[in-house]
Amino acid sequence: ATYKVQVSTGKGLLTGTFDSISITLVGTYGESPKQLLNRIGTDFSQGSVSSNLSASELGEILLIRLHKEPYSFFPESSWFCNYVQVTSPQGDLYRFPCYLWLEGYATTSLREGRGKRGQEGPPPPAAEGSQSVSWPVAWDSVAAGPEFSDGRVCLGTDGWMDSLLPHPVFLSLSLRMFETKMKGFLNRPYSWEKLEDIRKVFWFYHTPVSEYVAQHWKEDAFFGYQYLNGVNPVWIRKCTKIPFNFPVTQDMVAGSLGEFTSLQEELMKGTIFLADYKILEDIPAIEINGYPQYITAQLCLLHQKPSGELIPLAIQLSQTPGYESPIFLPSDSEWIWTLAKTWVRNAEFHVHEVTSHLLRGHQLAEVFAVATLRHLPMCHPLYKLLIPHLRYSVHINVLARTFLVSQGGVFDKAIATGRGGLAVLLKKGLENLTYTTLCLPDDIQARGVDSVLNYYYRDDGLKLWEAVHSFVSGIVGFYYKTNLAVQRDYELQAWVCDIYTKGFLGRRSSGIPSTLRTLEDLIKFVTMVIFTCSAHHAAVNSGQFELGAFMPNSPSSMRKPPPHTKAPVTLEEFLDTIPEMNTTSLVLSILWVLRNEDFDMRPLGSYPDEHFVEDEPKWLITAFQERLAEITKEIEERNKTLTLGYTYLYPPGIENSTAI
Ligand code: RS7
């Protein structure tokens, strides 16, 4: 009988191979002979190649083996195989999705692509599952102590880049460009002389938003706005009782609240909010440019006016009230109030980059990726569902460990925590991280921010959560009919258990499940995974550049201790407290290099790699895309009515995965 074999190679650069590739088909009646697929010197790069294969009747085809072997004098070359498709003599179509690099000389088995769980179907080929991937030393140690992995995550060379022109090339080119533009600022360990200079030095990147920031950064309303729709819109909580260690009184806030209401009344109305940076207590700071830097654990009280403006009422620059730690108020003199707010912006820098961005965006994505590669075979429906949302995550983290959080890296050069304080902060962040925080609808309830006005992050985020949830429900419902099916899927259970024990260090109080009992449990958990890697990461990542380019809005380090009195300060003293020119430039260079360029981006809900072969999941993907398009329209309409549109959860700008 004659079988038709079609092989598709990735479209990226250098995805073809000059090695010899042959195939064996394995069916219920037996195996075909091994057959060569590429003639010498053809590299597969043209996309799709067809061959005919003669064999006796094989029955239903269960799996294929791809043999990658040396071809005379050609050096070994990696191959990015999209998929193989086999048509039987009777016209039955079998598809074998791959979408992986095949490296070295080896035989790779691929199971037929209809989603199969655990016991179903033939036993998993040896190459799949836990043997090939191990937990990087990194995660445990990043969470528990100061030692980071050297980046050698056991994923072969890929980290799943699907082109051989990897991130680093673009990143270093980009950095080179930045350096020329900055013309020497990276070498100047001096204070900025004028605020205007900070704006001007960045002449090659002015957007409407970065200009807006430079003009409005000192305004209370913009300071408050960023808690709702800035880069870290996950921190404020409703305050119903003034904390004992932050003794704000009616007298202090009377001026801000006006004569028609009182602090007590507003507390009861639910319009008072608290940003508490207790997590920064006792985080060690480093020296920068030879001088000690400072970190404090601020408290900031805010009020939402009926107009929707959220304004700061009071700021205390430590967790311990008293003579040494006055409560700063908007009625204080101009630069001391600005300095107090800038200290809070600095706290925001630390908690945003470390807990919201690095921990929740990047490290969790890596945990999900490693657990998925270890436990879910490629034909598992959850592998198919999740793998597009884990693309490049390990790769970008290896880069972050190499350049950003490495010894002598950016954290050690320009951020007050340095690498040591970062590890302490990450550990605390992980200790505080709960399932509630990770599930947006629960998080909104827990923080008491469901009726806050003008909270576009919440509005867009909840719509996206619902859209993802409904998509995941469809996929899960198609492959799992009963709770028992969920309980009995030992691959799935091993996956979730590994996330619990390795990712969350087996901490019961996190509320993270260690097993999944029902369909609803499974749907929620998978929704959380996809939402974290896509929407959450986008919300905390996309605005960094435009909101951080004007440094006083987002200082990475403070060079003087927090003020102990309300004595007026001058602009010059203010400039001597925020980062120097070289520190500013270094942070900006990273923001510049990592700013979201469209390069190779896959927006939320786009699945160009066809892992699913059945019709139903394909329809569900289409429905998901349609819902995202509706959300996109709604956001466009809403943004037309705003001075500053909220775009960080605009679906076309959200990546499927934590890829940058
Ligand atoms: C960015 O991701 O765009 C920039 C991050 C950055 C810039 C300057 C100083 C520190 C950071 C940071 C951070 C923590 C997350 C890093 C993960 C980026 C791959």
The per-residue pLDDT for range 559-573, each reduced to its tens digit, is 999 999 999 999 999
Residues with CB under 6 A from ligand 1: 353, 357-358, 362, 396, 400, 404, 410, 415, 541, 544, 587, 590-591, 594
The mean pLDDT of 521-539, rounded to a whole number, is: 98
Rounded to the nearest angstrom, the distance between the alpha carbon of 590 and the centre of ligand 1 is 7
Q: Which pLDDT belongs to residue 139?
A: 40
pLDDT confidence of 152, banded at 50, 70, 90? very low
Q: Which pLDDT belongs to residue 160?
A: 42
pLDDT of residue 600 exceeding 80: no
How many angstroms from the chain centroid is the CA of residue 115? 27
Question: Does 359 or 49 have the greater pLDDT score?
Answer: 359
Q: Which pLDDT belongs to residue 237?
A: 98
Rounded to the nearest angstrom, the distance between the alpha carbon of 329 and the centre of ligand 1 is 32
Tokens of 375: 């436990």
Q: Which pLDDT belongs to residue 413?
A: 93
Winning range, highest mean pLDDT, from 96-105, 112-121, 216-225 = 216-225
The predicted-structure confidence for 468-483, as pLDDT tens digits, reads as follows: 999 999 999 999 999 9
Question: pTM to 2 decimals?
Answer: 0.92
pLDDT of residue 531 exceeding 90: yes
- For a pocket test of ligand 1, which of 360, 594, 658 has the largest count of ligand atoms closer than 8 A to its C-beta? 594
What pairs with residue 86 in β-bridges? Answer: 5, 94
Compute the CA torsion angle 634, 635, 638, 642 (nearest 10 deg): -170
What pairs with residue 49 in β-bridges? Answer: 7
Nearest Cα to 560, choosing from 317, 215, 196, 383?
317
Q: Which pLDDT belongs to residue 422?
A: 94
The protein residue whose alpha carbon is closest to atom 19 in ligand 1 is: 400
CB 599 within 8 A of CB 170: yes
Residue 354 CA: nearest ligand 1 atom is 14
Q: Name, in order, each residue with C-beta under 8 angstroms of 268's C-beta and a sequence gap of 6 or more.
A: 240
Residue 397 CA: nearest ligand 1 atom is 19
What percent of the chain has a predicted confidence (pLDDT) above 70? Answer: 88
pLDDT of residue 135 exceeding 80: no
- For a pocket test of ligand 1, which of 352, 554, 591 has the largest count of ligand atoms closer than 8 A to its C-beta? 591
pLDDT confidence of 396, banded at 50, 70, 90? confident
3-class DSSP assignment, residue 574: helix
pLDDT of residue 176 exceeding 80: no
Residue 595 CA: nearest ligand 1 atom is 3
Rounded to the nearest angstrom, the distance between the alpha carbon of 7 and the centre of ligand 1 is 39
Q: Which pLDDT belongs to residue 404?
A: 85
Q: Which pLDDT belongs to residue 41?
A: 65
Q: Which pLDDT belongs to residue 574?
A: 98
pLDDT confidence of 185, banded at 50, 70, 90? confident
Rounded to the nearest angstrom, the distance between the alpha carbon of 591 and the centre of ligand 1 is 7
The protein residue whose alpha carbon is closest to atom 4 in ligand 1 is: 591
> Using the 8-state DSSP alphabet, how is residue 589 labeled?
H
Question: Does 4 or 135 have the greater pLDDT score?
Answer: 4
What pairs with residue 288 in β-bridges? Answer: 291
The predicted-structure confidence for 487-504, as pLDDT tens digits, reads as follows: 999 999 999 999 999 899
∠ CA 542-544-550, nearest 5°, is 140
Q: Which residue has the tokens 């655990």?
A: 118
> How far apart are alpha carbons 124 and 242 in whole angstroms?
58
Residue 545 CA: nearest ligand 1 atom is 3
The predicted-structure confidence for 273-290, as pLDDT tens digits, reads as follows: 999 999 999 999 999 999
> How far apart are alpha carbons 263 and 220 in whole angstroms?
18
Nearest Cα to 222, choosing from 523, 543, 547?
547
Provide the sign of the torsion angle of the four alpha carbons 376, 382, 383, 384, taken in this order: positive
Question: Does 341 or 370 have the greater pLDDT score?
Answer: 341
The protein residue whose alpha carbon is closest to atom 8 in ligand 1 is: 587
The predicted-structure confidence for 432-444, as pLDDT tens digits, reads as follows: 999 999 999 999 9
The mean pLDDT of 630-648, rounded to a whole number, is: 97
Q: Which pLDDT belongs to residue 129?
A: 44
Rounded to the nearest angstrom, the distance between the alpha carbon of 334 and the centre of ligand 1 is 31
The protein residue whose alpha carbon is closest to atom 18 in ligand 1 is: 400
Rounded to the nearest angstrom, the distance between the alpha carbon of 50 and the centre of ligand 1 is 45
The mean pLDDT of 47-76, rounded to a whole number, is: 88
pLDDT of residue 117 exceeding 80: no
Q: Which pLDDT belongs to residue 394?
A: 83
Nearest Cα to 527, choosing from 623, 648, 440?
440
> How far apart are alpha carbons 289 and 118 in whole angstroms?
57
Winning range, highest mean pLDDT, from 161-165, 266-270, 372-376 = 266-270
Q: Which pLDDT belongs to residue 594?
A: 78
Rounded to the nearest angstrom, the distance between the alpha carbon of 393 and the centre of ligand 1 is 14
What pairs with residue 10 in β-bridges? Answer: none
Rounded to the nearest angstrom, the distance between the alpha carbon of 569 and the centre of ligand 1 is 31
Nearest Cα to 47, choosing from 97, 82, 99?
82
The mean pLDDT of 113-134, rounded to a whole number, is: 55
pLDDT confidence of 516, banded at 50, 70, 90? very high
The mean pLDDT of 201-217, rounded to a whole number, is: 87
The mean of the pLDDT values for the chain is: 89
> Using the 8-state DSSP alphabet, how is residue 317 labeled?
S
Question: Does 507 or 659 have the greater pLDDT score?
Answer: 507
The predicted-structure confidence for 309-361, as pLDDT tens digits, reads as follows: 999 999 999 999 999 999 999 999 999 999 999 999 999 999 999 999 999 99
pLDDT confidence of 138, banded at 50, 70, 90? very low
pLDDT of residue 258 exceeding 80: yes
Q: Which pLDDT belongs to residue 513?
A: 98
Q: Which pLDDT belongs to residue 148?
A: 32
pLDDT of residue 234 exceeding 80: yes
Q: Which pLDDT belongs to residue 596?
A: 62
3-class DSSP assignment, residue 327: strand
The predicted-structure confidence for 407-418, as pLDDT tens digits, reads as follows: 888 899 999 999
